[in-house]
């Protein structure tokens, strides 16, 4: 306490170490890195009073190159900036620490009257401590107009010491959050789309490559979800231990998925057994590291896991180069994909260790590289599958050619037999539609034809007619001359009916027993009556010679016509034609009757 008081008195007695930074009208989002002074407190021993005194005493130094990125460090880091608000419309500002993984972030604000306000945040504090529910630690600062306010930030973390502090107006932060949500949503939308797309392919194809790709994509999506602070915001806001452990755990899971997918895609087990063993050894190492990260300090597990990412990706690239040199063409696109991923991951990792400056490309290198990598890997999987399919086709074709050369005679016989079988199938299909006695179509085919003809009328509006024919006194013929003679009479009637109906575009079928039916698409009532009369005359005029007998036949015919535009069902058409047939029989047989009176 005496030491702190001495420092404070020394600071008050000396000139200020730095002039206040003016917040001019029109400013809304101010990155503070170039204006901050900092001090590394290796023992994390100073309090706010000592830190304010050291800052006033000039013991703080400007941030190197304005980039507050120092890699993995022990102890605490203090950042100091006096601020003079000259913006009359903005008295309330928001200070955001735009790095989600800081463990403990403390803000101390000292006003001209000596009053000091303290706020705490970071992923070792409950998420509800944040002024705004946002993935980055944030604080509200009241800055009276025209007064100099001293801002002091203390950061202590086992994660990388990255402290990109930005001062926002409330409106500016709202707009930044909106834009960030859009870009983040776009990235995770790509990830989810790839997950569902390849999940469907995996379910359909059962290719292990798609399964391991799903593991890799899902695990790496979890890595970025954790690194960007969304895991702490949505999944475990009150579980600081998991906020730390989730980073190395998700990284190790993603590394296992990467290696398994690469082994499967590059077919290392068959094409490069030694490389396959090396990949298995790395998978074992990553699994052990994942288990160990549950009890290792975060400052040990996370840097180690970050280095393992580079090791894992470099090994995948080496394996891809080896396979490409061995002539495995799918490795070409695979190599390009992992090269993008390596560049993005290297940029992010070097930023975490303080070896690269913080900018758009280094901060978003993993997202950009992984998005390109996952898109290209999805294309590579599709290309590989197409290549395997083409290779299978080539092998089958080559095998077939060899088989044809060795058994050409047998192949000719087989082709002949297949051709005969095809012809037999055609004949069987035709026979299945024909009446076995008369050779005309059977009742089932007639029914199908009638339904199709009625359906076709709804499009062209043409009329349709149905003829239902019954041979007169057919039982007497069977009883007098025998069934063989009756069969000859049925054949004569069927063929005579075909000779009249088929040339006019109709179809003849045996309806049952001595009954025959004809479908006449396009025929109106007058045309149907003329055709029916021609059929009746044809049957009556020519006697049937059978078994030494000359048999005279006659037929009764019922006709029903369906006008264009009239709705009708097959059952209605057959029923009405049947009623007309009965009228013909009642009127003395050997005549034609229409369902309605036709002039």
Residue pair 283/259 in contact by the 8 Å Cβ criterion: yes
Q: State the alpha helices, DSSP H only, in 503-569.
A: 525-541
DSSP for residue 542? S
The tokens for 539 are 């049957």
pLDDT tens figures, 34-80: 899 999 998 988 999 999 999 999 899 999 888 888 888 889 999 99
Q: Tokens 């008195």 belong to which residue?
A: 9
Domains in the chain, start-ordered, CATH in brackets?
Answer: 2-168 (2.60.40.2380), 183-397 (1.20.1070), 443-594 (3.30.70.270)
Mean pLDDT in the chain?
82
- 173, pLDDT greater than 80: yes
- 314, pLDDT greater than 90: no
Residue among 574, 410, 549 nearest 488 (CA): 549
Residue pair 143/93 in contact by the 8 Å Cβ criterion: yes
Torsion of CA 222, 225, 226, 227, to 10 degrees: 120
Phi-psi sector, 565: left (phi>0), alpha (psi -120 to 50), beta: left
Q: Can you tell me the distance from the alpha carbon of 201 to that of 185, in angstroms, rounded to the nearest whole number?
A: 24
pLDDT bracket for residue 566 (50, 70, 90): confident
Identify the pLDDT of residue 583: 95
**Angstrom distances, CA of residue 80 to CA of 20, 68, 575:** 10, 12, 101
Taking the model in full, what pTM does it have? 0.51
pLDDT tens figures, 344-390: 666 656 655 556 666 655 555 555 656 666 666 666 556 655 655 66
Residue pair 263/331 in contact by the 8 Å Cβ criterion: no
Report residue 394: phi and psi, to 5°.
Answer: -65, -40
Identify the pLDDT of residue 6: 42
Name, in order, each residue with C-beta under 8 angstroms of 257's C-beta and a sequence gap of 6 or more: 212, 215, 216, 217, 218, 219, 220
DSSP for residue 235? I
Q: DSSP for 86-144, please give it.
A: --TT--EEEEEE--TT-SEEEEEEE-TTS-EEEEEESTTS-GGGSSS--SS-EEEEE--
Return the sign of the alpha-carbon dihedral for residues 74, 76, 82, 83: positive
Identify the pLDDT of residue 205: 67
Q: Can you tell me the distance from the alpha carbon of 503 to that of 96, in angstroms, rounded to the nearest whole number?
A: 91
The tokens for 474 are 């057919």
């Amino acid at each position: 306490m005496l030491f702190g008081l001495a420092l404070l008195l020394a600071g008050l007695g000396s000139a200020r170490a730095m002039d206040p930074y003016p917040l001019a009208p029109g400013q809304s989002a101010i990155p503070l890195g170039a204006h901050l002074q900092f001090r590394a407190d290796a023992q994390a021993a100073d309090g706010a009073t000592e830190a304010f005194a050291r800052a006033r005493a000039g013991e703080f130094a400007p941030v190197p190159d304005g980039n507050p990125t120092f890699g993995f460090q022990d102890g605490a880091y203090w950042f100091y900036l006096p601020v003079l608000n000259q913006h009359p419309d903005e008295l309330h500002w928001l200070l955001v620490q735009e790095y989600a993984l800081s463990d403990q972030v403390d803000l101390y604000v000292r006003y001209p009257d000596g009053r000091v306000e303290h706020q705490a945040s970071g992923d070792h504090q409950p998420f509800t401590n944040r002024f705004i529910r946002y993935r980055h630690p944030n604080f509200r600062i009241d800055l009276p107009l025209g007064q100099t306010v001293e801002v002091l930030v203390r950061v202590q973390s086992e994660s990388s010491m990255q402290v990109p502090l930005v001062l926002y107006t409330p409106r500016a932060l709202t707009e930044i959050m909106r834009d960030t949500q859009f870009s983040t949503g776009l990235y995770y939308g790509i990830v989810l789309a790839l997950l569902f797309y390849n999940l469907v392919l995996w379910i359909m194809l059962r290719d292990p490559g798609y399964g391991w790709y799903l593991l890799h994509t899902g695990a790496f999506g979890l890595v970025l979800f954790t690194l960007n602070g969304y895991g702490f915001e949505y999944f475990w806001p009150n579980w600081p231990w998991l906020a730390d452990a989730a980073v190395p755990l998700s990284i190790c899971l993603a590394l296992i998925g990467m290696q398994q997918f690469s082994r499967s895609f590059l077919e290392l087990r068959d094409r490069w057994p030694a490389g396959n063993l090396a990949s298995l050894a790395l998978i074992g190492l990553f699994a052990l590291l994942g288990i160990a990260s549950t009890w290792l300090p975060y400052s040990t597990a996370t840097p180690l896991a970050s280095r393992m990412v580079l090791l894992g990706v470099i090994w995948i690239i080496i394996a891809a180069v080896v396979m490409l040199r061995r002539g495995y063409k799918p490795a070409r696109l695979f190599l390009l994909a992992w090269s993008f991923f390596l560049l993005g991951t290297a940029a992010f990792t070097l930023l975490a260790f303080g070896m690269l400056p913080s900018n758009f490309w280094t901060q978003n290198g993993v997202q950009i590289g992984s998005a390109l990598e996952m898109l290209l890997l999805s294309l590579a999987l599709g290309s590989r599958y197409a290549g395997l399919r083409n290779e299978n086709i080539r092998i089958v074709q080559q095998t077939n050619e060899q088989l044809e050369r060795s058994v050409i005679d047998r192949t000719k016989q087989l082709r002949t037999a297949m051709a005969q079988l095809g012809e037999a199938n055609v004949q069987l299909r035709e026979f299945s539609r024909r009446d076995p006695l008369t050779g005309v179509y059977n009742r089932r085919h007639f029914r199908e034809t009638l339904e199709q003809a009625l359906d076709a009328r709804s499009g062209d509006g043409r009329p349709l007619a149905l003829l239902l024919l019954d041979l007169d006194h057919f039982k007497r013929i069977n009883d007098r001359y025998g069934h063989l003679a009756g069969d000859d009479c049925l054949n004569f009637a069927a063929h005579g009916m075909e000779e009249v109906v088929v040339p006019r575009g109709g179809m003849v079928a045996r309806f049952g027993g001595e009954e025959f039916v004809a479908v006449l698409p396009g025929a109106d009532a007058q045309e149907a009556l003329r055709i029916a009369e021609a059929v009746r005359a044809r049957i009556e005029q020519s006697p049937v010679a059978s078994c030494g007998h000359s048999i005279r036949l006659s037929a009764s015919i019922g006709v029903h016509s369906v006008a264009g535009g009239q709705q009708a069902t097959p059952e209605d058409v057959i029923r009405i034609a049947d009623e007309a047939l009965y009228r013909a029989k009642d009127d003395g047989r050997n005549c034609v009757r229409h369902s309605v009176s036709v002039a």
